[in-house]
A and B are shown apart, each in its own frame.
Chain A
Amino acid sequence: MNAALTTASIASASELAELELAARQIRFKLVEMSHAAGTPHLGSAMSCVDILVAAYWRVLKLHADQPNDPNRDRFILSKGHAATALYATLATRGFFPTEWLDTFAKHRSPLAEQPAPGCAPGVELATGSLGHGLPVGVGMALAARIQKRDYRVFVVMSDGECNEGTVWEAAMFAPGQKLEKLCVVIDYNKWQATGRSNEIMALPSLVEKWRAFGWNASEVDGHDLGALIRAISRVPDGSGKPVAIIAHTVKGKGVSFMEDDNNWHYRIPKAEEVAAAKKELGLA
């Protein structure tokens, strides 16, 4: 594949249709992977697919054949429990064979339920314990400055992840360093493992929190690919501030019986549900 990805211009209608199809195909892959491997976190993976598609198809300066290029943009999926979304995205973009996805979570597969260090080309960080991606991403952004490289660092976190204190330690540190090539995208699907994220902790207003911490924070429909591309590709935006994008999403997005139903944090789809999902995603 041609993985020479360039900074996005605004995508045309036909390009958006192509990306939207890719997102539906990835979503179905996630359903299949969860079913085949018997692994949970399907709802969490489904909710961040459009963010990954926008980033990997239109924004990131990354070459699949040079996954360790020191000048590449860094993308960290800090919500490691959504690993299937990252694996399926990377495979589709040519970082590794799509056949690897069929081995997901099986004995000796490179693709564990949550990513291990260096497990597959394109995976920047072993995640799974929440609240690690942003501090590491800040370190990578500082390294770029020290080494005079001009790559950007993107960190995708979940809303539940914002419970972790390290998120706010890093959130306070990065603007102090004027790390304008750092971007956080929050997959704000309003659920965490066992309840409503806005109720378990006083999360609202998330955008105001990031703004108050010194970030250029904005809100976007996390399933509008055009809006996501516009939001993510403005990094750095010249303000001297890191960028925070609060992406409003729906957990389980794309399959009606999974959408906004938190049982799908842990539930595993049965064969008939896989077939129903395929139909709903327009792929049957």
Chain B
Amino acid sequence: MRNAFAKAITALAKQDERIVLLSGDIGNRLFDDFKAACPERFFNCGVAEANMIGMAAGMAMSGLRPVCYTITPFVTYRCLEQIRVDVCYHHVPVMIVGTGAGLSYASLGATHHSCEEMGMLRLLPDMTVLAPADSHEVSAALKAALQQAKPVFMRIGKKGEPQVHQAEPAFQIGKAIVLREGKDACLLSTGTMLPEAMAAAEALGADGISTQVVSFHTVKPLDDALLADVFQRCQVVATVEEHSVLGGLGGSVAEWLADHPTVRAKLLRFGTRDEFLHETCEQEEAREHFGLTASAIADRVKSALA
């Protein structure tokens, strides 16, 4: 996904001379093409993320379209107040891209995990929160984000994530993408969990449970129309994310549900628990630890329908 980001931002910057890329001392060689094409618009901001966000805000106030990029916890938790005050309060078009989101860097330990940042950033007024599912969605989301003159946060994985889309999908911020139709259950997946959600739907289908799968790439603003539809039609709606069940997609949908008490479906939330992951493990094992696998998802949905 990060390679797709680097390729897409380079292509966009060649067309739009307002685009500036700020990196927090990350992506060794990743941005060589960008640097070659637009050397005066690339800044390695060093290991100083708070300053990076403030500078980006200053650039955006001057008419540029800065994009800040580094590992997710450092470009979100570390500089949350700069994002809140310099970017959101001033309502300037700064884009923040967090790489290695969720449990992508499971093996590096909890300092590098980001299972709370969507919750934090979605609380900020004016912020858009995106979690594309694969590299095709990354390119599409980046284009859409730079077309709107607003603060945007986008979390992406690292590299080698399985592709779900065959090509770049039609992409609209706040409009989820239905990948598979179904009538009994609906899996709302955000970010890189989509292949697991697809596999879970496959398994449920084999058991006669018709399961819809949605790439719910925009966590804020929510796709209200889609939620209203699936909560009315299905018996179980599940959110699936590599993020805490508090505050992210699951938290958002739970809040939505509180405002729509008459709908039919029951909500299940798949995500990380309210704890730090202390185990030494790779991403796959971390997902198993939190019940974020196709089989665990299918089992819980099945029990909820029984």
Contacts and interface: CB of A to CB of B under 8 A. Distances in A.
Given A132-B85, A135-B58, A146-B20, A126 B51 contact: no
Q: What's the dominant secondary structure at chain A's contact region?
A: helix
Contact of B55 (A129, A135, A147): A135
Contacts of A129: 81, 85
A38 interface: no
B67 to A, nearest CB: 13
Most buried by B among A124, A144, A146: A146
B64 A165 contact: no
A166 interface: yes
B53 A135 contact: yes
A117 interface: yes
B45 A173 contact: yes
A169 to B, nearest CB: 4
Interface string B50-62: 1111111111111
Query: Which range holds the interface residue count of chain A?
Result: 20 to 34
A173 B44 CA distance: 10
Nearest to A118: B90
Q: What's the dominant secondary structure at chain B's contact region?
A: helix
A11 interface: no
Nearest to B60: A139
A165 B62 contact: no
Nearest to A170: B51
B86 interface: yes
Given A126-B90, A132-B54, A146-B40, A169 B59 contact: no
A40 to B, nearest CB: 21
Given A139-B62, A140-B58, A146 B41 contact: yes
B86 A132 contact: yes
A143 B58 CA distance: 8
B63 interface: yes
A142 B42 CA distance: 11
Nearest to B91: A117
A75 B78 CA distance: 27
Contact of A135 (B50, B60, B64): B50
Contacts of B60: 139
Most buried by B among A117, A132, A136, A177: A136
A1 to B, nearest CB: 26
B239 interface: no
Given A143-B62, A146-B41, A126 B54 contact: no
B296 interface: no
Contacts of A169: 46, 48, 50-51
B64 A147 contact: yes
Given A135-B55, A139-B57, A147 B91 contact: no
A172 B51 CA distance: 10
Contacts of B54: 132, 134-136, 138-139, 166, 170
Contacts of A173: 45-46, 48, 51, 55
Contacts of A122: none
A126 B85 contact: yes
Contacts of A144: 62
B63 A136 contact: no
Q: Which 8 A-B pairs have the closest CB atoms?
A: A139-B58, A135-B54, A143-B62, A169-B51, A139-B55, A169-B48, A136-B58, A140-B58
Interface of A: 70, 117, 124-126, 129, 132, 134-147, 165-166, 169-170, 172-173, 177
15 contacts: A117-B90, A125-B61, A129-B85, A134-B54, A135-B52, A135-B55, A138-B54, A138-B58, A139-B54, A139-B56, A139-B62, A140-B59, A140-B62, A146-B40, A170-B51
